[in-house]
Structure 1
Amino acid sequence: MMGFSHAATGVLAGIAVTAPLHVAVGGPQGPVGLAAWAVLGAGAALVPDLDHPSSTVTRSQGFVTGLLSRGARSLSLAVYDFTRTPADDSGGGHRHLLHTPAFAVAVGALTGLACQLSWWATTATVWFLSFLALRGLVRRLVRGGARRLLASWAGSAVAAAAATALFLSSWAGQPPGWVVGAAVALGMVVHSLGDALTPAGVPLAWPVPVRGRRWAMLGAPRWMRFRTGTWPEWVVRAGSLVGTVAVGYALVA
């Protein structure tokens, strides 16, 4: 699983969109705002793996996210069966519906609508994404007692609550719901693009058929793909973190 790598690319994506969002809605762009968007991007970039029973997001909230995972897998299989063509033969489970840009946009739109209608939905969404971000990043970036504390459920929950409070307080009022929804959609798309760098690929074009297959597994050119756990993944991960620092410095300076 590429949990840490997905979170790292999500951090970069989250920070990269702060400048245009600041121009569009006047949102926070200082250090606190940058950190908030980085956290939201990292958390959202882990969401698509809810279709895998042992992923970071599935294990994050015990029974609750375990139940959501089973529901996500059932939905993915049902949509696959309903929309497949005779040429499709990939099964419909992991790396299917939840790994499509179309589904990411739909989830982002629904999240944005919920957050627009309810302050509580905004708070819950930001807290959950912050919790996921800590789960995805802390075990690689933090050492010693701090890692043991943050890796625990209680430690992650408290840290996520603090991150949520900082995010909400950095806005003059409640952030526009579509902004939170956009962060969710962006992180999910970044996840799928990351998986498109692996040999298996993902159904990026769904529901548009490609050579007769609606669930065609697409990705980067073959020479650019790599297996998880090999040195190219490390390069992507390190490059994302270095890029985050560079973009963040450019925006703050």
Structure 2
Amino acid sequence: MGFSHATTGVLVGVAVATPLAAATGTPPTPVGLLVWALLGAGAALVPDLDHPSSTVTRSQGFVTGLLSRGMRALSLAVYERTRAPADRSDGEHRHLGHTPAFAVAVGTAVGLLCHLSWWASAAAVWFLSFVGLRALRRATWGWLRATLGSWTGAALGALGVTALFLTAWDDRPPGWTVGLLVALGMVVHSLGDALTSSGVPLAWPVRINGRRWAMLGAPRWMRFRTGTWPEWVVTAASLTGAAAVGCALLT
């Protein structure tokens, strides 16, 4: 679901552009909306660092592979320490990284680091936009799709996005904006997975029916398997919604 998650992140990035612009004093522009959309797309893929073959895990080779191993180890450790007797799972994929509580914690940490360090802001924006560009290349074609499919092309594109982000303010960019997008992107990812057959532990660490890691989600009749047509409906709706919101903000 890498591409569909990225498109829901695009919608989130564009949707929060107005309140972010109001809070930071920078009115929405077409370029600004593109930057927020790409950052949202990248943030919406972060939870899947808990899977060894996900889009985000494969995006940066050894670096994201190491992050993935760390995420899975942390998820398993937290699962083992907090599991209830009724919990029965491996404790890795779709566990800690897919909880709203963890999304808030990661977003807060990223926001704090970016607030304290210009370099942290640059690194976070570059990473998120790189992942977003790689995931969204499926919506492009020809030379652009081939360019974004290469590490060098995506890296240069992400460098351009980072430069646009860092130069959008007269003073140092407010780091909390990056943290907010990370948290929202991670949450919307989990909500997307809640529409699938497996569900996610949205209520953790609260116990539900004796399980702290209860896999929750939409009503059974609304759920679908990844790769089937309802996933494409979500993708199309997200892109259409992002385009509509973006046009409304610019008129």
Deviation at 1:28, TM superposition (A): 4.3
Give unpaired runs (5+ residues) of structure 2.
none
Candidates 165, 178, 203, aligned match of 1:205: 203
* Pairing of 1:66-215 with structure 2 (within 5 A): 66-138=65-137, 140-215=138-213
Deviation at residue 143 of structure 1 after TM alignment: 1.3
Q: Which residue of 1 aligns with 2:20?
A: 21
**Hey, what's the Cα distance between the residues in 2 that align with 1:28 and 1:174?**
17
Output the CA distance in 2 between the equivalents of 1:171 and 1:106: 26
CA distance in 1, matches of 2:114, 2:26: 16
CA distance in 2, matches of 1:28, 1:3: 30
1:132-163 residue CA offsets vs partner (Å, 9 max, x unmatched): 0011101x111122211121000000000001
Note if contact 1:84-1:213 (Cα within 8 Å) is conserved in structure 2: yes
In 2, Cα distance between equivalents of 1:76 and 1:28: 39
On the 8 A contact 1:32/1:170 being kept in 2, the answer is no
Q: How does 1:44-63 map to 2 (within 5 A)?
A: 44-63=43-62
Q: Distance in 1 between matches of 2:8 and 2:144?
A: 23
Q: Cα deviation per residue 1:66-97 (whole Å; 9 max; x = unaligned)?
A: 11101110100000000000011122010000
Q: Distance in 2 between matches of 1:245 and 1:97?
A: 32
CA deviations over 1:33-54 (Å, ceiling 9, x no partner): 1111101100000000000000
Structure 2 CA distance for aligned equivalents of residues 172 and 141 of structure 1: 33
The separation in 2 between residues aligned to 1:13 and 1:160, in whole angstroms, is 19
Bigger mean CA deviation after superposition, 203-212 or 118-127: 203-212
Distance (Å, rounded) in 1 between the aligned partners of 2:198 and 2:149: 31
CA distance in 1, matches of 2:57, 2:118: 25
Q: Which moved more, 1:164-173 or 1:108-117?
A: 164-173
Cα distance in 2 between the residues matched to 1:133 and 1:86: 39
Q: Secondary structure at the match of 1:212?
A: coil
Q: Which runs of 4+ in 1 moved over 3 A?
A: none
Q: Deviations over 1:180-228 (max 9, x none)?
A: 1001000000100000000100000001111111000000111111111
Query: Structure 1 unaligned runs (5+)?
Result: none
Aligned residues: 251
Alignment check: 8 A CA contact 1:43 1:129 kept = yes
Stretch of structure 1 that moved more, 172-181 or 126-135: 172-181
Match of 2:30 in 1: 31
Provide the TM-score with structure 1 as the length reference: 0.97
Q: C-alpha separation between the residues in 1 aligned to 2:181 and 2:27?
A: 14
Q: CA deviation at 1:172?
A: 2.4
Specify the alignment match of 2:226 in structure 1: 228
Return the alpha-carbon distance in structure 2 between the equivalents of residues 222 and 28 of structure 1. 42
In the alignment, the residues of structure 1 paired with residue 101 and residue 181 of structure 2 have an alpha-carbon distance, to the nearest angstrom, of 15
> 1:24: how far off?
2.2
Separation in 2 of the partners of 1:144 and 1:31?
23
**Aligned residues: CA RMSD:** 0.9
Per-residue displacement from partner, 1:2-29 (whole Å, max 9, x unpaired)?
0000000000011001111222222341
> Which residue in the other structure is 2:236 paired with?
238
Q: Is the 8 A contact 1:112 1:180 kept in 2?
A: yes
Give CA deviations for 1:211-247 in whole Å, capped at 9, x if unaligned.
1110000001111111111111010000100111100
2:50 is matched by which residue type in structure 1?
D
Q: Does the CA-based 8 Å contact 1:28-1:171 persist in structure 2?
A: no
Give the letter for the 2:127 counterpart. F
Q: Is the 8 A contact 1:198 1:228 kept in 2?
A: yes
